[in-house]
A = this chain, B = another copy of it.
Amino acid sequence: MIYDRVALIGLGLIASSMAHAMRAHGLAGTIVGHARSAETREAARQIGFVDEVFATAAETVQGADLVVLCVPVGAMGQVAAEIGPHLKPGATVTDVGSVKQAVIAAVAPHLPAGVHFVPGHPIAGTEHSGPYSGFAGLFRNRWWLLTPLPGGDPAATAQLRALCEAIGANVDEMEAEHHDLVLAVTSHTPHLIAYTMVGVADDLARVTDSEVVQYSAAGFRDFTRIAASDPTMWRDVFLTNKDATLEILGRFTEELFALQRAIRTGDGEMLFDYFTRTRAIRRGIIEAGQDTAAPDFGRSKAGR
């Protein structure tokens, strides 16, 4: 057992999966939860993945050793303000948001001295959401990034890390600013680009009577899948990870214009060299995957 009492605020895919996983591995003495929606609370009671469901976040966190904020990034600040006065001294608070600097700015001011805030981001998910979508294996071999605050308590971080690893995740620690930049490259900007390309196609599709959808080749079909992600979540991501996304977008358009110029001028050598270089990245991912057999994409565990 790693924590005596764990409180989950928000009871969707991530929270319900954490509850299932903690139970499966005997990592928490008692698990309690709260969701803003009465329907979600009732579903959580029916499924039974927590020991008790409370109607308010304030009640939920009382006496908890670990509080996990599993609400949308835009709602973190409000929840923190609500639970702040009710947190147990010495408790650890973490979150599961896709953006870290904005969450820290919204949450940290509301937490009293003596409570340890260790922001986190499990890079895990499925196309489903809600309390019925959770399963114990969601985090297995997925990354869980922690962005501890400068001057924070190393013991609190170590304990949270032990929990994440016990439910199957690979944990890494980094600064919040760095996290937001890496995610801007690997996730946020690709999503924006996919949304854009699908939007362009949509305009053309109206002209050509859905031919674009009919003949959607591999490239476009992958883009539509990415661009089908939840609009609310992604709006919040772009609004809260604005600086990093704009920086990567700037680099992207710079490179795109270079390739566009090569097409216009017929510079086949430049195109060939560029495409050869990008192909190597994919090979690196595949080879790393083959080396480790687990989907951790080249992460060497030797140095940990």
A interface, CB within 8 angstroms of B:
123, 125, 143, 145, 178, 181-183, 185-205, 208, 210-229, 231-232, 234-236, 238-239, 242, 245-246, 248-249, 251-253, 255-256, 259-260, 263-264, 266, 268, 271-272, 274-279, 281-285, 288, 296-299
Q: Is the interface of A mostly helix, strand, loop or mixed?
A: helix
Given contacts A123-B217, A212-B182, contact A200 B279 (CB under 8 A): no
Complexed CA–CA distance, A281 and B201 (Å): 9
Asked if residues A221 and B285 are in contact (CB atoms below 8 Å), the reply is yes
Asked if residues B215 and A182 are in contact (CB atoms below 8 Å), the reply is yes
- For residue A124, which residue of chain B has the nearest CB? B217
Asked if residues A199 and B239 are in contact (CB atoms below 8 Å), the reply is no
A182 to chain B, nearest CB (A): 5
Copies of this subunit? 2
Asked if residues A196 and B256 are in contact (CB atoms below 8 Å), the reply is yes
Asked if residues A213 and B259 are in contact (CB atoms below 8 Å), the reply is no
Apart from the given pairs A227-B282, A246-B264, 13 other A-B contacts in the complex at a CB distance below 8 Å: A143-B215, A183-B215, A183-B217, A186-B217, A186-B219, A190-B222, A195-B274, A195-B278, A228-B282, A231-B279, A246-B260, A249-B256, A249-B260
A214 to chain B, nearest CB (A): 5
> Which residues of B sit under 8 angstroms from A259, Cβ to Cβ?
192, 195-196
Complexed CA–CA distance, A171 and B198 (Å): 25
Complexed CA–CA distance, A235 and B130 (Å): 45
Asked if residues A204 and B222 are in contact (CB atoms below 8 Å), the reply is no
Given contacts A219-B187, A220-B190, A228-B283, contact A242 B264 (CB under 8 A): yes
